[in-house]
Structure 1
Amino acid sequence: MADSTPDPDETMARITASVTKGRACDSESARLEMLSIWDDIGVDGDPFHRCTLAHYLADLFKHPAQALIWDVRALDAADELTDQRARRFEAGLQVAAFYPSLHLNIADNLRRLSAFDAAQEHIEAAQRACSSLGDDDYGQFIKNSIDFVGEKIARHDRADAS
């Protein structure tokens, strides 16, 4: 009888370990590890790996221009990603549910860079994509964050939201 358990995703294990390290306040080491993983994946690599890595890597840059580069890479990778591929990692994943957070992050970085018109376009894209979010704590967190950043954009407030 063949084993139907999928092979472990070593790249995702490396990404997860780096994210954990970054959240444990070792952001410089985590950033260097993630950049090394990015080199291994390559710009044409698996879109799920690229999307996930770029999304989390962006959070490890303090300057909004540096974070924006990685947030755009995450969004570009999501545009190439299929639900089928995402579900090979976790059964319930839907790519559409990635977009509210991806657009929110881009909007926030653009806001911090005083690109308020562009930030408004992305916050509106995040708002339109909210229907894909679940009615759970994560979904509510993203919706609240979209409202918060949207208000800051409306006020032309560049202050760091953290």
Structure 2
Amino acid sequence: MTAEAAAPDATMEAIARAVAQARSGDPAPARRTLLDLWTRLGATGDPLHRCSLAHHLADLHADPAEALAWDVRALDAADAVTGQRARQHDPGLRIAGFYPSLYLNLADDYRRLGSFEAAARHIEAARTHAPSLSDDPYGNLVRRAVEEVAEAIAHRDRTPRTSAPGTSA
């Protein structure tokens, strides 16, 4: 018996298109697209959609306070994603693998805002969840970023990371 491929998910495809548009240097329309999707999803929409959308939308805000609001939404939504829902989207997807990046982003937001105690708590949570990361380029990228942000927290450095995703637009 072979595993069935997941059915196409129009919302996840729309999120992916918007993220690609932002990465190609056109963040403003991508941000509008994601905000429109968020409005359609609503506060009780599919948690996987809300988590993915908020996580990516946070990256499109240069203002750390705005990014923080979206990163909190992403973490809240992740807490509502079931393992079954994650596997429905992709049989290999594990929600546990989201948490290191989600906590990293929160730590970085708090750091940039100068709230170093909150940043330290979230970077510790990222480290606690890091064993859930795969041993692949993405996992290695997140692990390096965790250490980079931890060092910046220790030095009370509020400077935006050059390695952070997103844009300054």
Q: Take 1:7 and 1:133, find their aligned partners in 2: how far apart are those partners?
A: 25
TM-score computed with the length of structure 2 as normaliser:
0.92
**What per-residue deviation string (whole Å, max 9, x for no partner) do you get for residues 106-131 of structure 1?**
00010000000000000000000001
Q: Give % identity.
A: 50
Q: Take 1:152 and 1:107, find their aligned partners in 2: how far apart are those partners?
A: 10
CA contact (8 A) 2:7 2:89 kept: no
Q: Which has the higher contact order (CA 8 A, sep 6+)?
A: 2
Structure 2: segments with no counterpart, 5+ residues: 163-169
- State the SS of the aligned residue for 2:130: helix
**What per-residue deviation string (whole Å, max 9, x for no partner) do you get for residues 27-81 of structure 1?**
0000000000000111110000000000000000000000000000000000001
How far residue 7 of structure 1 moved from its aligned partner, in angstroms, is 3.4
Deviating beyond 2 angstroms after TM superposition, the runs of 4 or more aligned structure 1 residues are: 4-7
The CA RMSD over aligned residues, in Å, is: 1.0
Q: Take 2:5 and 2:136, find their aligned partners in 1: how far apart are those partners?
A: 29
Q: Which residue does the alignment assign to 1:95?
A: 95
Q: Which residue does the alignment assign to 1:159?
A: 159
Structure 1: segments with no counterpart, 5+ residues: none
Q: Which residue does the alignment assign to 2:67?
A: 67
- State the SS of the aligned residue for 2:105: helix
- State the SS of the aligned residue for 1:91: coil
Counterpart amino acid of 2:19? V
TM-score computed with the length of structure 1 as normaliser:
0.96
Q: Which residue does the alignment assign to 1:128?
A: 128
Number of equivalent positions: 159
